[in-house]
Amino acid sequence: MRQVTFLHPELFWLFCLLPIAFYIWYRSRNNQKPTLTLSTVSGFSTKKSLLVRLKPLTIVLRLLAMAAIIVALARPQTVDVSNKVHSTHGIDIVMAMDISGSMLAKDLKPNRIDALKKVAAEFIKDRISDRIGLVIYAAEGYTKTPVTSDKPLLLNALRDVVYNDDLKDGTAIGVGLATAVNRLKNSPAKSKVIILLTDGVNNAGFVDPRMAADIAKEYKIKVYTIGIGTNGMAESPYAYSPSGELLFRMMPVEIDEALLKEIAQKTDGKYFRATDTKSLKKIYDEINAMEKTKVDEQKFVSRNEKFHLFALLAFILLCVEFILQKTLFKGFI
């Protein structure tokens, strides 16, 4: 980033001398002209010649030269500042997202999946120096994106997450967690984190969630668990209409909070409950604040002196003023 600075900006106070110099010249301008006393000037023309009118040009040039000298003394410089940032404590993060049918419930607007995608996208953009991966699961799970520092790629993958029939419906918390652990177990990062989000209870899959938590603990992976869904009843999908559209009705929200708390506690993480979009965003903000990446920043400053341009301008103005005094206006001095 380039900016102009002055090494001695206090010298700009010298500009106050310029009006004084002009005042002194103005008061003494008539004393600089030879005088002749006459009894009457009726026979002489009172119209001023062109040279007389141009005579103040010399003081203008001199004042401009003085102004240029003051700017030169203030030492103008252009400063180029560049920052080089590198992480000294990188964090690898995998977000394990439940995309079962119940995630289409409308207690978060417009629904749980879309609300989660919006908040998760903001979280990804904030983690500038970290690698992040994405795992999605329902009754089955798979890696949508391995841990990567390519944020545009990750954001595009997140944007493509939708509920469909590719995965068997259900909630396999153990499978989702185990898949995320598998993406991080060989990571060289000093800190490894999983953000596990679900809106239900473990009712599918062949991996016990507690066993997956034990494996995460063995690999020193911290798991933050999030239960998403309002307290009480939520407008949730329950069947398809003959036309293929989802039908919704009010249904109870059931989240196995005891299991999620156990997983978080076992891995030195923390459990959160998101009952609406606002609280979900606060949760991700809190995780973002807790898992800070240590960053070293090196600042490089390059200074280029520009005072010589103003010194040269002052010299040229004084030379022009001197030449005019010795030639064109010589008879007026």
Average pLDDT of the chain, as a whole number: 85
**In whole angstroms, what is the distance from residue 197 CA to residue 102 CA?**
13
| Res. 3: pLDDT tops 80 | no
**More confidently predicted of 68 and 328:** 68
Bridge partners of 290, per DSSP, are: none
How far, in Å, are 13, 308, 315, 318, 320 from residue 68 at the CA level?
A: 13, 10, 9, 11, 14
Say if CB 140 and CB 172 are below 8 A apart.
yes
| Res. 136: pLDDT tops 50 | yes
Of 4-18, 192-206, 277-291, the poorest mean pLDDT is in: 4-18
Order of all β-strands in the sheet with 294-305:
2-6, 76-89, 294-305
Contacts of 269 (CB under 8 A, 6+ apart): 193, 194, 222, 223, 224, 225, 263
Give the residue from 9, 5, 4 showing the smallest Cα distance to 70: 9
| Res. 81: pLDDT tops 80 | no
pLDDT at 289: 87
∠ CA 116-120-122, rounded to 5°? 125
Contacts of 96 (CB under 8 A, 6+ apart): 135, 136, 137, 141, 176, 177, 179, 180, 194, 195, 196, 197
DSSP type of residue 121: H
| Res. 332: pLDDT tops 60 | no
pLDDT at 333: 47
CA 57 to chain centre: 52
pLDDT at 157: 94
Per domain, the residue ranges of the chain are 2-32+51-81+300-332, 91-292
| Res. 113: pLDDT tops 60 | yes
> What amino acid is encoded at 101 in this protein?
G
**In whole angstroms, what is the distance from residue 274 CA to residue 277 CA?**
7
How do strand 191-198 and strand 131-137 relate by DSSP bridges?
unpaired
Query: pLDDT band at 118, cuts 50/70/90?
Result: very high
**In whole angstroms, what is the distance from residue 225 CA to residue 239 CA?**
28
pLDDT at 95: 97
**What's the pTM?**
0.63
Overall CATH class of domain 91-292: alpha beta
| Res. 295: pLDDT tops 70 | no
